Amino acid sequence: MLTETPFRPREKLVEKQRLFQSIQRHTYLKGPMDKVTSVAIPLALAASSLYMIGTGIYNMSNGIGKKE
């Protein structure tokens, strides 16, 4: 029976596991991609929705796009 070789050697995995388990503070937002997915995307979504709500209110108050 053949076994696949792991992507990383077991020693490196154990070393990383020890490193993360020894950290006492929270481990979220560590890398640059974590900051993009956890902060930038929700902020962009909120900003774009606020912009669209604002333009909709402006258009309704000024009668823009109203069918006659």
Q: Show Cβ contacts of residue 39 under 8 Å, excluding neighbours closer than 6 positions.
A: 29
Q: Is the pTM of this model over 0.75?
A: no
- Spatial separation of the C-alpha atoms in residues 45 and 43, rounded to whole Å: 5
- Spatial separation of the C-alpha atoms in residues 59 and 68, rounded to whole Å: 15
**Residue 1 binned pLDDT confidence (cut-offs 50, 70, 90):** low
* pLDDT, tens digit (0-9, with 9 covering 90-100), for 9-67: 888 889 988 988 887 777 666 677 777 888 889 999 999 999 999 999 999 999 998 88
pLDDT of residue 2: 65
* CA 56 to chain CA mean position, Å: 28
Cα-Cα-Cα-Cα dihedral sign, residues 26, 23, 29, 17: negative
Would you give the DSSP letter of residue 68?
-
